[in-house]
A and B are shown apart, each in its own frame.
Chain A
Amino acid sequence: MKTWTIDQSAQAPPSRQLVEAILDRIANGSLQPGDQLPSVRGLAAEVRVNHNTVARAYRELEALGVLRGENGRGSFLTPSSTQVARRERSAATLIQFRTALHEALRAGHPIEVLESELRQSAKESA
């Protein structure tokens, strides 16, 4: 599995960054329902943050219905995790996209340029 990282210069707290990174990997299919996430301490060591930061991220994912902690065995993705992750991430990313779009239009980018950018990036991520 790809390694996890935290961006110390990002405008989001570490626990939020972890939630988003995990939702992203569920939404794009690299994490599947039933998959096990690293232990709290294991992930804390990997991204080098306090264990309570990871525990907070896992609690948030549990509250969203994405993750289920099984006593003593670890934390596993729920059957509905893909659905929930796509819903969460599509809502959040749409807001970011709109903000960026407004800024680009205000900065004077012609619509045609933005449109071709959009098609180009759709082609690249397909």
Chain B
Amino acid sequence: MNPLVTVRGLSKHYGRQHVLESIDLELHADQICVLLGSNGVGKSTLLRSLIGLEDVKADTLEVLGLDPRRKPDALRRLVGWVPDHSDVPAWMTPAECARFQEHCYDGWDSSRLAQLFDRLDVPTRRAFAKLSRGEAAKAMLALALASRPKLLILDEPLARLDPRTKAEVLACLLAEVPIDGGACLLATHNLDVAVRAADRVLVLANGRVESAVDVSNIDSTQTTPCGLRARLERLYDSNTLEPVR
């Protein structure tokens, strides 16, 4: 089957500063792919480039059969997107946001959204400015899932949440993630999220995908959560930390 996302040789420069350097990435159906990397390593830039929010150079850039540089609007109707900083106006309530977004997505499903809001206990009639961090994160996830997107892209969806809310949001994500032909790309610097959720982990460092770990394969050869965590930690550290001299 064709991958849902194909990226070959993607680069992004700000002036002379190289943020991303010849990134290759493939995302297949029924996969949760975790993009692991420190703050400022270019995770957000990479995710944003997949939905046409960044001007990038690439040999191949294809998302759900579309080039985000040429057809960003058509593509955004199909992709569920949770940015790391909410782009919703602070005065808007989740319910108002839903009425606005309803027209921006194909496949919008209001009853599904109502279920998700309910399940996650989102105060739908309170402005985003007055929501707690956890409530806002849950509202954003529910809104991103409401269109039953074939591709779900999440930028640090669990960052700065307390452990209980983190568990709740992760559970919802794992229950509702687009499988059955869909896929999910999730950026995080949280190793536990990677260990629990990922089919595949890409370690992003120095503007490149430095390592890729196929979790589905190592789990079947008896790798424990601790073993996987240790392995990811080694890859992460070896690529992000300066060696001690």
Contact = CB atoms under 8 A, between A and B. Distances in A.
Contacts of B74: none
Contacts of B196: 8, 48-50
B190 interface: no
B215 A50 contact: yes
Interface stretch (A38-46, A63-71, A115-123): A38-46
Contact of A51 (B172, B174, B224): B174
Contacts of B219: 13-15, 53, 56
B222 A16 contact: yes
Contacts of B211: none
A35 B220 CA distance: 27
Tell me if A's interface is mostly helix, strand, loop or mixed.
Answer: helix
Contacts of B197: 48-50
Nearest to A41: B175
Nearest to A53: B219
A88 to B, nearest CB: 17
Contacts of A45: 171-172, 174-175
Given A15-B219, A53-B219, A48 B198 contact: no
B171 A13 contact: no
Nearest to B226: A9
A8 B177 contact: no
B3 interface: no
Contact of B222 (A13, A42, A44, A52): A13
Contacts of A51: 174, 177, 179
A56 B215 contact: no
A42 B196 CA distance: 15
A126 interface: no
Contacts of B78: none
Contact of A52 (B30, B172, B176, B224): B30
B222 A50 contact: no
A42 B172 CA distance: 9
Interface residues of A, number: 22
A1 interface: no
A11 interface: yes
Contacts of A56: 219-220
A44 B175 contact: yes
A92 interface: no
B216 interface: yes
B225 interface: yes
B170 interface: yes
Nearest to B166: A48
Interface string A1-37: 0000010111111111000000000000000000000
B224 A13 contact: yes
A9 B225 CA distance: 7
A46 B175 CA distance: 9
B218 to A, nearest CB: 9
B199 interface: yes
12 contacts: A6-B225, A10-B225, A11-B226, A13-B222, A13-B225, A45-B171, A46-B171, A50-B197, A50-B198, A51-B174, A52-B216, A53-B219
Given A11-B226, A15-B219, A56-B219, 4 more contacts: A13-B225, A45-B171, A50-B198, A50-B215
Interface of A: 6, 8-16, 41-42, 44-46, 48-53, 56
